Amino acid sequence: MKINPLSNANVNPYNRQSAKIDQAEGKKTGMADKLEISSQAKEMQGSDRIQAERQEKIDQLKVDIESGTYKADPKQTANDLLKHFRGL
C-alpha cells in the first residue's frame, strides 16, 4: 500500500479564507461599489436640518462643560445605555 504525503498548500485553511475575503471585497476583480444620492433625496432626508440641530446641542454642551454648569444625570445616562444595548 502506497501512502502519498500531504501537501501543506491544501491544508492551511487561513490561506483559503483570506482568498475568499479578497475575492468578496473585489480586490482581484478590480470592481468597486459606488453610491450616488441625488440632491432631492438629500433634501427629503432633512440631514442639513438635523445636523444643524445636533451642532447647536453640541455647542451648548461645550459651553456648559467649560463653564462648569453641566450636570450629568446618572439615572438618565444608565437608562439610555440600557436602551442602546437592548436595541430599544
- DSSP H or E segment with residue 14: helix 13-25
> Who wins on pLDDT, 18 or 73?
73
Give 84's pLDDT tier (boundaries 50, 70, 90). Answer: very high
pLDDT at 76: 94
Mean pLDDT, residues 67-77 taken together: 93
**Grid cell in block for residue 74:** 446618572
pLDDT surpassing 90 at residue 80: yes
C-alpha 8/C-alpha 13 separation (Å) is 10
Average pLDDT, whole number, for the chain? 80
What is the pTM (predicted TM-score) of this model? 0.38
